[in-house]
Amino acid sequence: MRVMDDNRIIRTEYSDLMQKSYIDYAMSVIVARALPDVRDGLKPVQRRTLYDMYELGIKYDKPFRKCARIVGDTMGKYHPHGDSSIYDALVVMAQDFKKGLPLIDGHGNFGNIEGDGAAAMRYTEARLQKITQETFLADLDKDVVDFIPNFDETEKEPSVLPVKIPNLLVNGSEGIAVGMATSIPPHNLGEVIDAMKAYMKDENITTRELMRYLKGPDFPTGGIVINESELLDIYETGVGKIKIRGKVQVEKAKGGKLNLVITEIPYPMIGANIAKFLSDIAALAESKKTMDIVDISNQSSKEGIRIVIELKKDTDVDNFTNMLYKKTRLEDTFGVNMLAISDGRPETMGLKQILKANVDFQFEIATRKYTTLLAKEREKKEIQEGLIKACNVIDLIIEILRGSKDRAMAKACLTEGIIDGIKFRSKESKIMATQLMFTEKQANAILEMRLYKLIGLEIEALINEHEETMSNIYSYEDILDRRDSMAQVIINELEEIKKEFSKPRKTELTNAEEAVFEERKIEEMDVYFLMDRFGYAKTIDVPTYERNKEAADAENKYIVKCKNTGRICIFTNMGQLHTIKVTDVPFGKFRDKGIPVDNISNYSANKETILCVASQTQLNLYRLLFVTKNAMTKVVDGGEFDVTKKLVAATKLNEDDELVDVTVLKEQRNIVLQTKEGYFLRFPIEEIPEKKKGAVGVRGMKMGEKDYIEAVYYTQNAVESSITYKNKKLILNNLKPGKRDTKGTKVRA
């Protein structure tokens, strides 16, 4: 590849250029979008949104502002990646069911735990939380972090926020980058602060000792972590799986019935998975996996989760609860991968490494903060000393000011003792004026001093202020010179944050045994599988079918007798075999609507057409005959389709070919192939060889270039079979017998 650079041509390998470009793109996504910084625990979009709200003055004690204003300003100044990504980040930072410590105070519809989205940004309003303002954004004016140019170099933005707590642990983080992902659980603020203090007091502390303070994750949805013994390894390596269960309690209901009430859910269940959980419970009842459920209701509200399962009187509650843990998402797994940006590169870190990075960051921002404060206090000290000195010789200074022609003349006298051109009342004043040696800052302060500053109380206040300044200077120098002093300042701030903002732990930690339940054994019996032309399926018992046989035969396209413990096999035109457990099909009354087969199998009505439906038991007793659009035929032993997988290939198809017929062979003796052009070929089925299901088969009929098999019929010996073809009756038995792989007979209208 040749790349033009001014008037030079650079030759390079295209693959090298692509590799470099992709790596640059990947690193951009990793560092600048998807992963949080270990120091402030924020992704760039979160950091920019919070900083923009700080810049706009949307503080916790000020009125709410429209989210659209915040999003637009953030996008225009700092984050040119689309308004939806900014608003989504803002919404999540305001949701108390996703964040253990919400950073934004939302006003309006910000979504709910059941997965309903937030209202449009033009309707919702927001402002900073108090902890965000005091812990995340304080001291930005004290040069504690570096500011970098924004995307168009018209503004400055902080490279990291001076967060005073390990926010990466407190709020956790989830993000998918290129080739890597982060998943960090939230933790309790008080415990995180205690762990950080413990690390500051002893940098050689072990992870096990740290976990005396930070016991484990604390999810905003509560729940129970059941593998507490595995947490140590997770926090040492930064990788692992946390098993969480919802919290349940039993309540007595009317009539001696019991209610199983779910009051807390696993953190991964939030959102659409709550509806999935409810549907899974309903499916357990419909499929007869349990007969204990009377009713299910979701009574959750803003006050919290409350899912009520009404049970029968004699229900074994413990066994039923264990079934929910095994069969639904009431027990779930949170995959931990504590990946964050450290020193500009992604790194998987354990608990101790994260705390170390945060402690180092706290010392860095404290050093910069107190260096800035010390410089300001020293500047104040210089000016204060000048003003105090000036008050002692105020008569002389007034004489200099009255005798000077301009400010420059007076300033030169104050700073350098130059008295040329200044009129004095006495020689003593003139001599004293030559001895004045104020600094330039002191001289400016004197020249700008107002007369009321000469009042006795004001002079006394100035002296007191100077004493306070000297005290501050001593304190700041001590903090900067001694690491212990700085550490104590940081610890004091952490204790104040914990006292004001920490909350009790919500998630319990324990070691629980794996849930074990006894499945109710299904009594085996014969049932009828019914499926109508719309694809709705159900099963009914034999007596019900026999009572309604005429209506059942008229209303349903497929009727199969089977065992309730068996499987139903569905063959489609795409050469696929879909199997369905009969227990997954609703069993009930004849007039029940049933369930779409799409919902209980991999079959898709939009992409496939059903050709044959049979029970697996039936297939084991018979053979199947396959015919394709291009006239490929074969017979397959039905036992080859005795499979447990939901989806397998039933046959092999050539390119641009599909099945037009699959039939279970019982009493059929002859096959009749009909083409689109009107050719019919009747020949004995025994001429079609038996093949394996993975074979293509043999050609059953010769056809014209654009002709294809349109229909397949079967005849029995001594039984007349007829069809209506082009509005006329055609007796298939009267067709001239032929042989396989011949052209057949043209039937005209």
Of the candidates 244, 195, 194, which has an alpha carbon nearest to the alpha carbon of residue 221?
A: 244
**At the top level of CATH, which class does the domain 622-749 belong to?**
mainly beta
CA distance 577 to 614: 11
Share of the chain above pLDDT 90, in %: 60
Provide the β-strand partners of residue 127: 105
* The pair of three-digit structure tokens given for residue 440, joined into one six-digit string: 């330039």
**CATH 3.40.50.1000 assigned to 357-500:** no
Q: What is the DSSP string of 120-180?
A: PTTT-EEEE-HHIIIIISTTGGGT-S-EEE-TTSSSEEESS---SS-HHHHT-EEEE-SS-
CA distance 723 to 717: 17
Look at the block and give the residue holding tokens 């004699």: 314
Q: Residue 715: exposed, middle, or buried by beta-carbon count in 10 A (0-12, 13-18, 19+)?
A: buried
Q: Residue 566: exposed, middle, or buried by beta-carbon count in 10 A (0-12, 13-18, 19+)?
A: buried
Look at residue 523 and tell me whether its pLDDT is greater than 80.
no
The residue length of the chain stands at 749
CA distance 293 to 350: 44
List, in sequence order, the alpha helices (H) in 597-741.
597-600, 616-621
What is the structure's pLDDT at 420? Answer: 81
DSSP state of 742: B
What is the structure's pLDDT at 5? Answer: 54
Q: What is the DSSP string of 398-449?
A: HHHHHH-SSHHHHHHHHHH---TT---SSHHHHHHHHT----HHHHHHHHH-
Look at the block and give the residue holding tokens 């108090």: 130
Strand intervals (E) in 321-421: 331-337, 339-342, 345-348
Look at residue 30 and tell me whether its pLDDT is greater than 70.
no
Catalytic hit among 22, 25, 123, 474? 123
CA distance 192 to 573: 60
pLDDT digit string, tens, across residues 617-667? 889 999 999 999 999 999 999 999 998 888 999 999 998 899 999 999 998
Look at residue 81 and tell me whether its pLDDT is greater than 80.
yes
Q: Which positions ≥6 away from 170 have C-beta within 8 Å?
A: 41, 100, 101, 186, 187, 188, 189, 192
Among 16-25, 390-399, 729-738, whose mean pLDDT is lowest? 16-25
Of the candidates 569, 649, 668, which has an alpha carbon nearest to the alpha carbon of residue 610?
A: 569
| Residue 600 near residue 583, CB atoms below 8 Å | no
What is the structure's pLDDT at 741? Answer: 93
CA distance 747 to 315: 68
What is the structure's pLDDT at 457? Answer: 59
What is the structure's pLDDT at 637? Answer: 94
* The pair of three-digit structure tokens given for residue 36, joined into one six-digit string: 């949080």
What is the structure's pLDDT at 162? Answer: 96
For residue 391, report the phi and psi dihedrals to the nearest 5 degrees. Answer: -65, -30
Over range 50-73, report the average pLDDT.
95
For residue 386, report the phi and psi dihedrals to the nearest 5 degrees. Answer: -65, -40
CA distance 625 to 79: 63
Look at residue 730 and tell me whether its pLDDT is greater than 60.
yes
CA distance 50 to 397: 51
Among 284-298, 390-404, 445-459, whose mean pLDDT is lowest? 445-459
Look at residue 32 and tell me whether its pLDDT is greater than 70.
no
What is the structure's pLDDT at 491? Answer: 96
Using pLDDT thresholds of 50, 70 and 90, give the confidence band for residue 419.
confident
What is the structure's pLDDT at 539? Answer: 93
508-527 per-residue burial string, b: 16 or more CB within 10 A, e: under 16? bbeeeeebebeeeeeeeeeb
Share of the chain above pLDDT 70, in %: 96
CA distance 150 to 134: 24
**For residue 749, what is the enclosing H or E element?**
none
CA distance 540 to 588: 6
Using pLDDT thresholds of 50, 70 and 90, give the confidence band for residue 456.
low
CB neighbours (10 Å) of residue 129? 22
Q: CATH assignment of 247-329?
A: 3.30.1360.40
Look at residue 455 and tell me whether its pLDDT is greater than 70.
no
CA distance 468 to 462: 10
Look at residue 17 and tell me whether its pLDDT is greater than 80.
no
What is the structure's pLDDT at 143? Answer: 92
pLDDT digit string, tens, across residues 290-339? 888 888 999 988 888 999 999 988 888 888 999 999 889 999 999 999 99
| Residue 276 near residue 258, CB atoms below 8 Å | no
- Second-level CATH architecture of 35-163: Alpha-Beta Complex (3.90)
Q: Report which residue type is found at 457.
A: L
What is the structure's pLDDT at 28? Answer: 65
Domain range annotation of the chain: 35-163, 247-329, 357-500, 522-613, 622-749
Using pLDDT thresholds of 50, 70 and 90, give the confidence band for residue 247.
very high
What is the structure's pLDDT at 454? Answer: 63
Q: What is the DSSP string of 30-67?
A: IIIIIS-BTTT---HHHHHHHHHHHHHT--TTS--EEH
Look at the block and give the residue holding tokens 């993975």: 694
What is the structure's pLDDT at 390? Answer: 81
Look at residue 255 and tell me whether its pLDDT is greater than 70.
yes
pLDDT digit string, tens, across residues 690-715? 999 999 999 999 998 889 999 999 99
What is the structure's pLDDT at 412? Answer: 85
The answer to whether residue 123 is catalytic is: yes
Query: What value does the mean pLDDT of the chain take?
Result: 89
Q: Decide which of 458 and 406 is more confident.
A: 406
Reduced to 3 states (helix: H, G, I; strand: E, B; else coil), residue 107 is strand
| Residue 535 near residue 605, CB atoms below 8 Å | yes
Q: Which positions ≥6 away from 599 have C-beta within 8 Å?
A: none
For residue 339, report the phi and psi dihedrals to the nearest 5 degrees. Answer: -105, 130
Q: Report which residue type is found at 515.
A: A
Look at residue 7 and tell me whether its pLDDT is greater than 80.
no
| Residue 286 near residue 586, CB atoms below 8 Å | yes
| pTM as predicted | 0.72
